[in-house]
Structure 1
């Protein structure tokens, strides 16, 4: 039986993609993931994340979906909220990996609602949906790590052209300063990696 862990990186960022990752492995191979001593990607250094990501990819199937800032803005303009956007990626990953059980770090305030919805869409699938699942299940920790590495890679690509973007999160003064400077210099030509539909960006552009 194949099990799947799903997590994301970049959900709250004002720039760059939202990366959703699924890590799938046969149940008898989960022990190899457990031996890596995995935990939430945010608690691991970037260098360690990269090393673990490579090991995870050798042990398991990794399915990543990059939802660009432009995709997010386009869908939000059609009244598709972020949870629904993330679910599009989740359903794609489930379809590609065909697991019997899926462990997921729930973005829904009611994890049981997400589990019920996914089970209704995928027959024969058992869903375990919890908040902070990346702290409790190594397979979700693995997905968290691979997603974060993929997201970090995207931000590094942005930094090649815009070195001062910071982390991309609204809590980062460097990112806010970058957005303010850009909005003053080229208010009508913001790069596509900026999530224009975010309240933080809308406030700065006023």
Structure 2
């Protein structure tokens, strides 16, 4: 069965975020370790060095291949085992990310968000994060990793359509606001 795109675009005060969810039959503390412990993070996304306690970490996304560069990570908020907010990448070129975990009835919901710098130009982030999060599910459930070829080419148009529609809405809102202030 081919994976389906699961992301949605959410407007927040500080921009537009690509937001995706996954559900786990596991306690929140267990799922949190896939974001906070280097060996578990490496099983689905990448490896890190440094200390989250200091707010300074380096991340190398091995899910993108062995040639990936180390990226700066500025931890903005870390409330274990529920919330992680960080800027990933060089200053001025970073991506704001968040991870929120909630638990109920022995299940943990994970919500991941990535702020888009450009709604039009970053539609490719959708398939990548569907792929990464399905790798997380596979790592947690001890299943084979998904194949990237089932994501990028297949899902890109879905995310491009979402981005075009939101861009049109944002432009309409901006035009209406300009007309409203002139009246």
Fold shared per TM-score above 0.5: no
Task: Name the one with the larger helix percent.
Answer: 1
**TM-score w.r.t. length of structure 1:** 0.26
Task: Name the one with the larger strand percent.
Answer: 2
